[in-house]
């Protein structure tokens, strides 16, 4: 199946009360591991690409071409969207040009009127091209490509303003943050989530910072309208731990253990296990 926008898969997720995982990619191995797991689990999937990761992988065009070719060569039949994660205004246009099927414009750092104006413009462009668009209200804290922010709670009225522009999914800050949660993290603000949901109706909501949120909170968030959950750090931690173990056990020094295909294999398996576990929690298995 060719790349698809996230519109249809998120509509189905809202109706079926589950969430589609957005797993961020950082290289070819990551991409292949996530696509193969999605196919095996018969789950729709969204591949997230941050601007930093896009640059690292050789540019957005390289990434879009790699993902499209891999879907074809690996015979992937489940719906796959390639989605710009936390796009700047300029980054959105670059990804539209490069062939992404889904875009996130993160205007949360702008005053609300500017966020509205820029989002409105991008709604029009994405609609014409059949791409899905995610917008953000209330900055989601933690580290995003080197920028550290606090977890905010979005203003439900501002969420409605942005949701009414015709976007396909809305990331509203509900106390969630990227990366590891601090020990004194108070948890997700379900009052905020319920208030946002009341204002935006059936709009699929996006939960960023999916790493380390307890399962009961994830399930409650899905019951309150979250239809897409982003995971990045957890795959990175799993990959790093498995690679470190392989090296510490000296396996890279035995036979051809230094061959990148062998050296990276434990990390790849760790990513697959993490993605599978998340898909189970999100309830997306068998939904493709």
Q: Which of 210, 225, 266, 267 binds ligand 13P (CB under 6 A)?
A: 210
Q: Quick one: which of 39, 51, 85, 168 contacts ligand 13P (CB under 6 A)?
A: 85
Integer Cα distance of 65 and 75 in angstroms: 15
Q: Does 209 bind ligand 13P (CB under 6 A)?
A: yes
**Phi, then psi, of 87 in degrees rounded to 5:** -70, 140
How many chain residues touch ligand 13P (CB under 6 A)? 15
Largest CA distance in the chain: 62
According to the binding rule CB under 6 A, does residue 173 interact with ligand 13P?
no
In the chain, beta strands by DSSP E: 20-24, 45-50, 80-85, 102-105, 132-137, 142-144, 147-149, 169-172, 205-207, 226-231
Residue 232 engages ligand 13P in binding (rule: CB under 6 A) = yes
CA dist list (Å): 4 to 44, 80, 92, 119, 260:
10, 6, 17, 21, 32
Between residues 152 and 234, which has the closer beta carbon with respect to ligand 13P?
234
The verdict on 234 binding ligand 13P (CB under 6 A) reads yes
- Options 231, 238, 268, 271; binder of ligand 13P; rule CB under 6 A: 231
23 in Cβ contact with 93 (< 8 Å)? no
Bridge-partner residues for 174, per DSSP?
A: 153
> Exactly one of 43, 192, 230, 243 binds ligand 13P (CB under 6 A); which one?
230
Stretch that binds ligand 13P, among 12-20, 69-77, 224-232, 266-274 (CB under 6 A): 224-232
Q: Does 107 bind ligand 13P (CB under 6 A)?
A: no
């Amino acid at each position: 199946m060719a790349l698809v926008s996230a519109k249809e898969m998120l509509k189905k997720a809202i109706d079926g009360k589950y969430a589609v995982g957005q797993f961020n990619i950082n290289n070819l191995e990551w991409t292949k591991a996530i696509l193969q797991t999605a196919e095996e689990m018969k789950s729709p999937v969204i591949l997230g690409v941050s601007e930093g990761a896009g640059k690292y992988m050789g540019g957005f065009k390289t990434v879009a071409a790699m993902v499209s070719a891999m879907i074809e060569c690996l015979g992937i039949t489940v719906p796959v969207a390639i989605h710009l994660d936390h796009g700047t205004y300029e980054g959105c246009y670059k990804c539209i040009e490069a062939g992404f099927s889904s875009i996130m414009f993160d205007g949360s750092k702008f005053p609300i009127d500017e966020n509205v104006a820029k989002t409105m413009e991008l709604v029009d462009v994405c609609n014409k091209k059949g791409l899905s668009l995610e917008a953000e209200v209330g900055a989601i804290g933690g580290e995003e490509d080197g920028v550290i922010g606090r977890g905010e709670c979005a203003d439900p009225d501002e969420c409605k303003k942005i949701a009414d522009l015709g976007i396909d999914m809305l990331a509203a800050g509900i106390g969630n943050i990227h990366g590891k949660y601090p020990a004194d993290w108070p948890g997700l603000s379900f009052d905020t989530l319920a208030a946002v949901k009341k204002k935006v109706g059936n709009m699929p909501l996006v939960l960023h910072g999916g790493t380390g949120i307890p399962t009961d909170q994830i399930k409650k968030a899905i019951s309150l309208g979250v239809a897409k959950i982003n995971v990045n750090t957890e795959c990175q931690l799993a990959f790093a731990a498995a690679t470190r173990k392989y090296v510490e056990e000296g396996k890279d020094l035995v036979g051809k253990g230094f061959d990148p295909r062998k050296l990276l294999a434990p990390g790849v398996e760790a990513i697959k296990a993490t993605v599978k576990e998340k898909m189970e929690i999100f309830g997306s298995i068998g939904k493709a």
